[in-house]
Copies of this chain bind each other. A is one copy, B any other.
Amino acid sequence: MTTATTATSTSTSTSEEVSSAADIGALTVDARTGADRVRPRFATRTKAYGGSSIWTDILGLLKQHPDPIYFGDGSPAKEAIPLDLMQEASQRVWANALDVLAYGDQQGVPALREVIARRMDRLGAKVDASEVLVTAGSTQGIELACRVFLDPGDVVIVEEPTFLGALETFATYEATIVGVPVDEHGMDMDALAETLAREPRAKLIYTIPTFHNPTGTTMPVERRQRLVDLARQHNVAILEDDPYVELRYDGEAVPAVKAFDNRVIYLGTFSKTIAPGIRTGWVAAPSDILAMMLSAREVMDISNDRITQRTVLEAARTELDDRIVHAREVYRPRRDAMLGALAEYMPEEVTWSQPEGGFFIWITLLASFDVDTFAHAAAAQGTVFFPGDWFYHDKSGKNRIRLSFSTVTPERITEGVRRLGEAIRAELYG
């Protein structure tokens, strides 16, 4: 329905008169229809949404080869998703669903929170079910931490590089993002100490200490202890994002950072052990912080899907652990294939991380390398990945590449890395 200019409108211009001026005071005229057209007056924070979508970029890269091998995926392998377990669980839950379809379970189904608390015991963290909030993935956990802690201009300290989704959330909250370098053992604690001393507005330290995204590295015990000490000393909250911890392929388990200080805000998820499409994660936090996050969450979207919560509960109560054992057997040969292929096909100047778990290997090239132009050359050769600069808030890291091995078979991994090696050689030696 097209609505013409009405009696109550203050605009007396015809569409012709205003066609040369896009904006007449508060009113904008749509030249196509001549009708008044409200110009949205967006909030300041929407500047964070201005850039082009990475998915547009990735889709463009995937179109450059008839059979691209995609090392960008952060999803679990289809072979590792416990589909039959979820199918059966879903049927049982729907059979008794009538009483759980109204509003409710804002904090999460109590039995699911209990199961989650017991899973956290294994990480050395003593968590009561009352300290758990079920969330729409750990992405919503990051969102909730921002909501209860961040005023515009507050400082969030992040590992450099870090998960790009978290960078987007922090930008949405108009935070100042300050990076701390990582080495093969995670965040540099001396650099963190200096940063904390310099940034009185620091509110959050965001860390992915185990099988880090994108580098694949794991922070050892000593650094975890130092991290909680520093955070406590400066009264800054730690946000521990731990999606990959159950996917360890070798080496010894390290306790969660939360095991060193129960004040840590811990984010867990079933996205990597079941599937991301079911949007089920959790926050474990001390009760004063959790109460605030729960209030925020109830206002935001009330609760997780109540049927899915119970479906996850049924799966977790029964065979999920066995399926995770199986999942590790899916991923280990993929990681090994990638490490083997890198050793075989990469030129000498190239180095990479040696992850004991998770989904990612991080490649470092010569400082002069420009990954953004190279990504196109590599795509033309049939290998697509996430350019390293996407994981830096200042878009540095142009000599880095993140490779994910989770959704690619060992044979395809070998072929993809071979193609990548060729593309790198062509780039380096012309």
Contact residues of A with B, CB < 8 Å? 1, 3, 6-11, 26-28, 36-46, 48-49, 53, 73-76, 78, 81, 83, 86-87, 90-91, 94-95, 97-105, 124-126, 135-137, 139-140, 143, 147-151, 154, 165, 168-169, 172, 193, 203, 225-226, 228-237, 255, 259-263, 275-279, 288-289, 292, 295-296, 299-308, 407
Contact = CB atoms under 8 A, between A and B. Distances in A.
A299 B151 contact: no
Contact of A149 (B42, B53, B234): B42
Given A10-B233, A27-B233, A279-B302, 15 more contacts: A6-B225, A38-B231, A45-B147, A49-B296, A86-B94, A87-B95, A87-B97, A137-B301, A143-B300, A147-B172, A276-B302, A279-B301, A279-B306, A301-B301, A305-B308
A71 B116 CA distance: 35
Given A94-B86, A172-B296, A126 B1 contact: yes
Interface pairs A-B: 5 shortest CB-CB: A49-B295, A101-B275, A277-B306, A75-B102, A26-B235
Given A43-B150, A98-B78, A226 B8 contact: yes
Nearest to A6: B229
A296 B47 CA distance: 11
A292 B232 contact: no
Contacts of A277: 97, 100-105, 303, 305-307
B228 A3 contact: yes
A140 to B, nearest CB: 4
B39 A9 contact: no
A168 B299 contact: yes
Contacts of A42: 148-149, 292
Contact of A94 (B90, B229, B231, B306): B90
Contacts of A228: 3
